[in-house]
Amino acid sequence: MHRRHLVLGLSLTAALACAPLSAVHAQDTYPNKPIHLIVPFPPGGTTDIVARLFAEKLGRELNGAIIVENRGGAGGSIGSSVVAQSNPDGYTLGMATVSTHGINPAVYPKLPFDVEKDFTPISNLAAVPNIMTVNPDQVPARNMADFIKLAKSEPGRLTYASAGNGSLANMMGELFKMTAGVNLVHVPYRGVGPALNDTLSGQVDVLFDNLPSSLPHVQAGRLVALAVASPTRVAALPNVPTFAEAGLAPLNDMSWFGLVGPAKLPLAVVDKLHQAIVKVSAQPEVIKSLANLGAAPVANTPAEFAKQIADEVTKNRRVAKEAHIKVE
């Protein structure tokens, strides 16, 4: 009996000794099969472009393949749900945006996931400035001070376009109204394209948008930029102040495009992915590609990205409550 107990004890000790080595081995070999990166929007948008740029570069850095899958629908909730419900082994990751992880929790009465409990934040990959523009034929103001003065003199006359109820543009428009103390009429569209087209044609007066889609029209003189949401002025628009410079600091947050995994993603996997992101973000080719979108790499830590998501949710819940924004 004593000999049997001794053998069992030695076997158990050996098993326990091997367990950490197995974990280390798993960390060293990750990834050993393709990683699926879920983009919760259709192909062609900014989220998709950023995802494909980083997928290619991260795949090379990790010596593995990263396959981009577009799972659009329900404002990004369908694709995000796929990530939340996946096995936390590092082989299903997802793109998280201001819309999916900052706005949707504030405007949808019920989501199939909890953004703060069902995901593991890895890093904010890129930040993109937002912009407020006006149609120059409809709005005589050429700076923010004159616009606010005009809006206050004619409450409810000026309109602003958005990509739909509960969209980033809708949240920006309502936050602008609260901060500036003006009354603009919201005109929702099904997507950025129609909203931009009707602003250009003069059907609506004002547009809140990501910088990349509006920038060419500002440069061509078809739209007038009043402010950008960015820590500093945008190089392509050096004469356009930031919202903070214009006295509207609450609107100065940029849009972001980050990487998340399902909850309980192993720390070793998170660390390996974050280290790869930091290296890729410093590559001149990546910096240049993002700059062409009006974007810049961020590569913040998982803890910093988690706080960024939480702060975004808090801000948008306040705006949604005060503006009575709800998407059924």
Same structural domain, 241 and 154? yes
Mean pLDDT, all residues of the chain:
90
Does 244 lie in the same domain as 272?
no
Total domains in the chain come to 2
Taking the mean position of all CA atoms in its chain, how far away is CA 263? Answer: 18
Residue 244 lies in a domain: yes
Closest CA to 262 of 73, 91, 41: 91
The pLDDT of residue 128 is above 80 = yes
The 10 Å Cβ neighbour count of residue 232 is 10
Residue 22 has pLDDT above 50, yes or no: no
Q: What is the pLDDT of residue 27?
A: 56
Residue 29 has what pLDDT? 86
The answer to which of 86-90, 148-152, 291-295 has the lowest mean pLDDT is 291-295
**Higher pLDDT among residues 159 and 12, named by residue:** 159
> Is 70 exceeded by the pLDDT of residue 1?
no
Residue 13, pLDDT > 80, answer no
Dump pLDDT digits (tens) for 159-183: 999 988 999 999 999 999 999 999 9
Residue 193 — pLDDT band, cuts 50, 70, 90? Answer: confident
| 123 and 146 part of one domain | no
pLDDT of the residue at 242? 97
In this structure, the answer to whether residues 156 and 262 fall within a common structural domain is no
CATH (domain of 105): 3.40.190.150
Helices (H) and strands (E) in the chain, counts: 11, 11
pLDDT at 69 over 80: yes
Mean pLDDT of 208-221: 92
Q: In this predicted structure, which of 101-105, 134-138, 292-296 has the lowest mean pLDDT?
A: 292-296
Residue 5 lies in a domain: no
Of the listed ranges 74-78, 261-265, 284-288, 307-311, the least confidently predicted one is: 74-78
Q: Are residues 146 and 205 in the same domain?
A: yes
Q: Are residues 137 and 190 in the same domain?
A: yes
Q: Are residues 191 and 240 in the same domain?
A: yes
Residue 43 pLDDT level (bands cut at 50, 70, 90)? confident
- End-of-domain residue from the set 223, 251, 279: 251
- Range list of β-strands (E), the chain: 35-39, 66-70, 92-97, 119-128, 130-134, 159-162, 185-188, 206-210, 224-229, 255-262, 296-297
Residue 15 domain-assigned (yes or no): no
Under the banding of pLDDT at 50, 70 and 90, the label for residue 205 is very high
pLDDT per residue over 27-36, tens digit each?
578 999 999 9
pLDDT of residue 191: 83
Residues 207 and 233 in one domain: yes
Is residue 216 domain-shared with residue 243, that is, in the same domain? Answer: yes
Q: Domain range spanning residue 158?
A: 130-251
In a domain, residue 1? The reply is no
Residue 195 lies in a domain: yes
Once rounded to an integer, what is the mean pLDDT over residues 11-29? 49
Between 6 and 257, whose confidence is greater?
Answer: 257
Say if residue 3's pLDDT is above 80. no
- Give me the mean pLDDT over the 298-318 stretch: 96
23 in a structural domain: no
Residues 145 and 247 in one domain: yes
pLDDT at 23 over 50: no
Same domain membership, residue 259 and residue 124 = yes
Contact indicator for 50, 299 with CB cutoff of 8 Å: no
DSSP string, 138-193: T----SHHHHHHHHHHSTTT-EEEESSTTSHHHHHHHHHHHHHT---EEEE-SSHH
Q: State the burial class of residue 310 (Cβ atoms within 10 Å of its Cβ: 0-12, 13-18, 19+).
A: middle
Work out the percent of the chain whose per-residue pLDDT is above 90. Answer: 80
Instruction: State residue 105's pLDDT score.
Output: 95
Residue 141 resides in a domain: yes
Q: What pLDDT score was predicted for residue 192?
A: 86
Whether 13 is covered by a domain: the verdict is no
User: In this structure, are 160 and 215 located in the same domain?
Assistant: yes
CATH at residue 223: 3.40.190.10
